Amino acid sequence: MSSRMATTKFLDISDKVLNYYMDSSKPVKAGYFVFSMPLSMEEIINLERYILSNPTVLKVVKVWAYNAKTLESVNGSPFPSIGKAAKYYHILDNRIVRHLDTDLATIHDGQWIYFFTKEISKEKRIALIKNMNKAGNVHQNVWVYKKLNGKYTLLDNNQPFKSKLKAAEALNISSPTVKKYLDTHSCFSEFYFFSSPQVQIP
C-alpha cells in the first residue's frame, strides 16, 4: 500500500488496529497480514508455515454476541466478521478473539457480553444465565455517585472512573470495597457504585 491511510481504508480498520497488528505476524483480517517493510525469504517461509498450521486465519469467522445477563442476541444476527464486531464495539479485534467460545463474559460500556463463533443452544443459554463467568483482567468503568444537597451527583467531573482500582485510589478505599458495593444500590460512606450510568438512585 502507498500509505497507512490507504491501508486502513482498504482494510476498513482504524489506525489503532493497524498499529496493533503491524509487524505482529498476526492476521489483521482473514488472510491479511500487515508489515512495515518487505519480508525476507526466511520470514515468508515462516509465515507460510504458520498459515499451514493455522488454516483458520484465512477464513472469515462470524461472531454471535449475547448480553450475558439475558442471553439475548445483541443485534439479532451474527456479525459477518470479527473485525465488524470489533468495529461495532469500538475495541480491538484481539479482545474478541481472546474471549471467543470461552464461556467467559467481557464487559463493554457497563454491559457484560459473550462472544461465540456459532449460535448457542437454548440449553447453553440457560446454563450461562444460571452461572455467569466473567473474564479476568478486564478494566471495568465505575460510576460513583454521592448525595449532595438532596441530589445524587456523579463524581470525577461527571465521568466514570476507568477501573475499580482507579475509583478506590481516588476515594482512599480498597478495591474489594468497590467490588462489594458495585451495583447493589447500597451506599458506602455516602458513595454509590455502579457499572453503568444511572438515571436515578433509590
- Reported as a single tens digit per residue, the pLDDT across 65-119 is 998 888 888 878 898 888 788 888 877 777 787 788 888 888 777 778 899 988 9
pLDDT exceeds 60 at position 59:
yes
Show me where the domains of the chain are located: 4-58, 64-130, 143-194
Residue 66 confidence (pLDDT): 92
Residue 139 confidence (pLDDT): 64
3-state secondary structure of 182: strand
Q: Which amino acid is it at 93?
A: D
Q: How far is CA 97 from the centre of its chain?
A: 10
User: Could you give the C-alpha distances from 50 to 2, 96, 97, 174, in angstroms and in order?
Assistant: 26, 21, 17, 45
Alpha helix segments (H runs only) across the chain:
4-11, 15-21, 41-53, 82-89, 93-99, 122-130, 155-158, 164-171, 175-181
Label residue 136 by pLDDT band (50, 70, 90): low
User: Which residue is it, cell 456479525?
Assistant: 79
